[in-house]
Amino acid sequence: MTSPNNNVPTPPTPPPEPERPTYEGSRLPWWIIAWFVAFFIFGIVYHLRYALPDFQLWLTDAVGQMWK
């Protein structure tokens, strides 16, 4: 008995493409992002209000009278 395709060889199938995993993580909740933004704004305000003026005073104080 003969085969239905008359013994014609089938072409080889190409190898499957490798999987490229992608990150599908979840986003941070809005309230955690709000805490980060508030902390960042507090840091900027603190530096402008306290740290930079004290640093300027420290740089201009030649004798070190600020610490007495």
Q: pLDDT value at position 49? A: 93
* Residue 14: predicted pLDDT: 83
DSSP state of 65: G
Long-range CB contacts (< 8 A, 24+ apart) of 52-55? none
- The three-class DSSP label of residue 3 is coil
Does the reported pTM lie above 0.75? no
Contacts of 51 (CB under 8 A, 6+ apart): none
Per-residue pLDDT tens, the chain, 68 aa: give them: 555 656 777 778 888 887 887 777 778 888 999 999 999 999 999 999 999 988 888 888 766 665 55
Q: What does the pLDDT read at residue 68?
A: 56
pLDDT at 15: 81
